[in-house]
Amino acid sequence: MAKLHLGVLGSGSGSNMQSIVDAIEAGTLDAEIKVVLADFPDAKILDRARKHNIPCQFLDCSPWKTKLADAAEENCIKILKDAGVDTVVLAGFMRIVKPKLLEAFPNRVLNIHPALLPAFPGVHSWTQALDYGCKVAGVTVHFVDAGTDSGPIIVQKAVPVLEDDTPETLHARIQVQEHIAFPEALNILASGKYRIEGRRVRIG
């Protein structure tokens, strides 16, 4: 077991970061969040970080809306390295990260995606699953590679799609599982008992 030194990147409410904080505080995850970065200055994830005295800051990614521009990426890598981060967690970070960040943390960047990949990559995946008529939806935690939502899968959890689901009720049910899946995936990393073989993450 090796304690994880986490850097968390987010864009929104930060409920996934909260699930990681809760697992650390409950003693079920051997990790420390070294820094939290958000691409919106008023993102709730920053409020949550402040509440737990976790260093946090706004990462200016302008002018882009969906990617990390070169200067922002370099700044991001510097902040993460200076903070002593060894594992980067994308917790609702709605931007594509680029090769430089992945090269700075090889096989140590994790993403959570609200779908059973490879189905429904991209945005609003729960709405995509509902519109498609899926009877099962879910969540995936995976290593990030150069593609979009395409890296080797660490943990997946399924939820049923119910007859009266709206996008909101389905997303809420998926989020309950997200909050279990992310700490679980990080525990696998901390255990060191896994290996990546091609697309497969072999655990144990």
Active-site choice (5, 52, 113, 171): 113
Residue nearest ligand GAR, Cβ-based: 92
Can you tell me which of 48, 113, 142, 173 binds ligand GAR, judged by CB under 6 A? Answer: 113
Nearest approach in angstroms of CB 49 to ligand GAR is: 12
Nearest approach in angstroms of CB 197 to ligand GAR is: 25
Nearest approach in angstroms of CB 182 to ligand GAR is: 9
How many whole angstroms separate alpha carbon 74 and alpha carbon 92? 20
Can you tell me which of 7, 92, 138, 151 binds ligand GAR, judged by CB under 6 A? Answer: 92
Q: Does the active-site annotation cover 113?
A: yes
Nearest approach in angstroms of CB 50 to ligand GAR is: 15
Q: What does DSSP say about strands 200-203 and 194-197: parallel, antiparallel, or unpaired?
A: antiparallel
Q: Is 140 in the site for ligand GAR (CB under 6 A)?
A: no
H, E, C per residue of the chain: CCCEEEEEEECCCCHHHHHHHHHHHCCCCCEEEEEEEECCCCCHHHHHHHHCCCCEEECCCCCCCCECCHHHHHHHHHHHHHCCCCEEEECCCCCECCHHHHHHCCCCEEEEECCCCCCCCCCCHHHHHHHHCCCEEEEEEEECCCCCCCCCEEEEEEEECCCCCCHHHHHHHHHHHHHHHHHHHHHHHHHCCEEEECCEEEEC
Q: Is 156 in the site for ligand GAR (CB under 6 A)?
A: no
Q: Is 112 in the site for ligand GAR (CB under 6 A)?
A: yes
Nearest approach in angstroms of CB 202 to ligand GAR is: 24
Binding mask 49-88 for ligand GAR (x = CB under 6 A): ----------------------------------------
Instruction: Look at phi and psi of residue 120 and say left if phi exceeds 0, alpha if psi is from -120 to 50, else beta.
Output: left
Can you tell me which of 178, 183, 189, 201 binds ligand GAR, judged by CB under 6 A? Answer: 178
Residues that bind ligand GAR (CB under 6 A): 10, 12-16, 45, 91-92, 112-114, 175, 178
> Could you list the active site residues?
113
